[in-house]
Amino acid sequence: MKNSLSLQQIGFLVLLILFTASCKEKTERAAEPEVLVQYDEPISKLPIEKLNLPEGFKIEVYADSIDGARSMAMGDDGTLFVGTRNENTVYAIQDRDNDYKADNVIVLDTTLEVPNGIAFRDGSLYVAEVGRLLRYDNIESELDSLSKPTVVYDDYPTEFHHGWKYIAFGPDDKLYVPVGAPCNICNSTVVDERYATITRMDPDGSNREIYAKGVRNSVGFTWHPETKEMWFTDNGRDMLGDDAPPCELNRITEPGQHFGYPYCHGGVVKDPEFGDQRPCSDFVAPVQTLGAHVAPLGVKFYTGTMFPEKYKDYAFIAEHGSWNRSKKVGYRIALVKLEDNEAVAYESFLDGWLDEESQEQFGRPVDILFLEDGSMLISDDYGDAIYRLSYKGNQLASK
């Protein structure tokens, strides 16, 4: 009996060790990725025929069933990574036969807090939650079995209001991370100097600093292909009426510049609550004022060869669209024309997601990404889709 009991104890200990090791292994891995859909052709019934395209252009659904599709980043091996806001999900989308239509959609993780911001660098996917930044190393080789991410930082403000992030690496190999104002209008820097700013840091999270101030809520930025200066969109404050203040497209020419919030909006509109404290002349004015409440998000310069030459180095902006204006505006891709690094025109490039008469929309563009062939991807968090815009005058556009 004594020997039998000892064997039982030994067996129990062995099982306990194995169970503990198994649990430890699970804690070192993220949630198992899930293949959401595999298809030969997108099945979306979005009425894209209602979209108004410039002559010679063609738009198709690149991927659908991407609930809440927002920020996009491209991996070295051609995997399109997509972040979301309210859906708490990160996707990996593959076009394995190179026909410019997705044939595999993978849900990488559904456990994250507002993973809107994503960026890709040296084989690693960076995902920005509200208050922390994660890094998934060797991501494209682990799409079927994700390792636990490295926490780059976990000490940024956790306020949800304007807390979702857009992140990107600049030409200086720094990672840029905005921190939106936690309100419609307030002087939040007295609580934390990082509010209403764009910060930057080394890829490992070190050497963090404030790069730009007075930025209410930027959810999109890029760098000019020639000057390497950062250009960013900023969402104007609410509750000053249908037509004020303008949203903004800004250009940073040196670190530490202040762009006006909460004292001045659009370079010319004095805030009724804070405007007496500092004049608009103290701040950097927008390079281009945009429509009031159009909610500009993603912005990219065109550097490809597919589109006609006239679009070279022009800025394309995804205008997500108004939420509380009496008559809706935005819901389009806008275009800012440049000459000698200065904005000379602001106009609609692609619209039709919003029916002006009924005021109903079937899509809200969020982010823009250009493929190697020069075509444009557009994410849509309302239609849950990724579109591909190509120019039919180019042979590649018909593929």
Quick one: CA dihedral 174, 180, 182, 187, positive or negative? Answer: positive
Query: What pLDDT was estimated at residue 45?
Result: 86
* Confidence band of 24 (pLDDT split at 50, 70, 90): very low
Q: Please report which residue ranges of the chain form alpha helices under DSSP H.
A: 2-27
Quick one: 19 and 74 in the same domain? no
Do 174 and 220 belong to one domain? yes
Q: 133 with 152: CB under 8 angstroms?
A: yes
Is the Cβ–Cβ distance between 225 and 293 less than 8 Å? no
pLDDT at 43: 65
Res. 35 pLDDT band, cuts 50 70 90:
confident
Q: Note the pLDDT of residue 17.
A: 36
**pLDDT category of residue 39 using cuts at 50, 70 and 90:** low
Q: Calculate the CA dihedral of residues 24, 29, 34, 38 and round it to 10 degrees.
A: -130
Q: What is the CA radius of gyration of the chain?
A: 23
Q: Look at residue 240 and tell me whether its pLDDT is greater than 90.
A: yes
pLDDT band at 41 (very low <50, low <70, confident <90, very high): low
Give 39 or 237, the one with higher predicted confidence: 237
For tokens 């993973």, the residue is: 115
Cα separations in angstroms, 80 against 7, 32, 50, 165, 182: 54, 19, 26, 18, 30
Give, as one character, the DSSP assignment of residue 253.
S
Q: Name the more confident of 220 and 398.
A: 220
23: pLDDT strictly greater than 80: no
Cβ contact 343:336 at 8 Å: yes
d(CA 62, CA 168): 23
What are the distances in angstroms from CA 371 to CA 123, 256, 302, 388? 18, 33, 11, 9
162 and 15 share one domain: no
The two three-digit tokens of residue 73, written as one number: 């980043």
The conformation of residue 47, written as its DSSP 8-state character, comes to -
Residue 36 banded pLDDT, cuts 50, 70, 90: low
Residue 262 CA to residue 185 CA, distance in Å, equals 6
Mean confidence (pLDDT) of the chain: 91
Q: 244 and 95: one domain?
A: yes
Structure pTM?
A: 0.90
Residue 94 CB-half CA count within 13 A: 17
pLDDT of residue 33: 81
Please give the single-letter amino acid code of residue 388.
R
Which domain CATH number covers 248? 2.120.10.30
pLDDT band for 38, please (50, 70, 90 cuts): low
Tell me the residue ranges of DSSP E strands in 253-326.
257-258, 264-265, 269-270, 288-289, 296-301, 315-319
pLDDT band per the 50, 70, 90 thresholds, residue 37: low
C-alpha 112/C-alpha 89 separation (Å) is 7
Q: Is the pLDDT of residue 324 over 50?
A: yes
Both 235 and 380 in one domain: the answer is yes
Structure-derived torsion over alpha carbons of residues 241, 244, 249, 251, reported in degrees to the nearest 10 = -130
Same domain, yes or no, for 75 and 7?
Answer: no
Do residues 88 and 148 share a domain?
A: yes
Total domains in the chain come to 2
CA nearest to 70, candidates 219, 215, 191: 219
* Structure token digits, residue 340: 């000698």
Whether 15 and 39 share a structural domain? no
Boundaries of domain holding 210: 35-398
pLDDT at 260 over 70: yes
Same domain, 323 and 246: yes
Q: Given this model, what pLDDT does residue 44 score?
A: 73
Residues 274 and 133 in one domain: yes
Greater confidence (15 vs 127) lies with: 127
Backbone phi and psi for residue 79, each to the nearest 5 degrees, phi listed first: -85, 125
Q: Is the pLDDT reported for residue 28 higher than 70?
A: no
Give the model's confidence band at 31: pLDDT under 50 very low, under 70 low, under 90 confident, else very high: low
Model pLDDT for residues 327-385, shown as the tens digit of each residue: 999 999 999 999 999 999 999 999 999 999 999 999 999 999 999 999 999 999 999 99
CB 384 within 8 A of CB 372: no
Share of the chain above pLDDT 90, in %: 85
In terms of domains, do 342 and 212 share one? yes
Same domain, 40 and 11: no
Please name the residue that has the structure tokens 């390079």. Answer: 287
Task: Give Cα 306 to chain centroid, integer Å.
Answer: 24
The dihedral region occupied by 218, where left means phi > 0, alpha psi between -120 and 50, and beta the remainder, is beta
Residue 300 or 397, more confident: 300
What six digits make up the tokens of 271? 């805030």
Quick one: pLDDT band at residue 4, thresholds 50, 70, 90? very low
Question: Per mean pLDDT, which range of 229-233, 279-283, 394-398 is the poorest?
Answer: 394-398
End-to-end alpha-carbon separation of the chain, Å? Answer: 77
CA distances from 29 to 25, 26, 316, 345 (A): 7, 5, 39, 50
Q: Model confidence at 42, in pLDDT bands (50, 70, 90)? A: low
Strands 257-258, 209-213: pairing is parallel
pLDDT single digits (tens) 136-149: 999 999 998 889 99
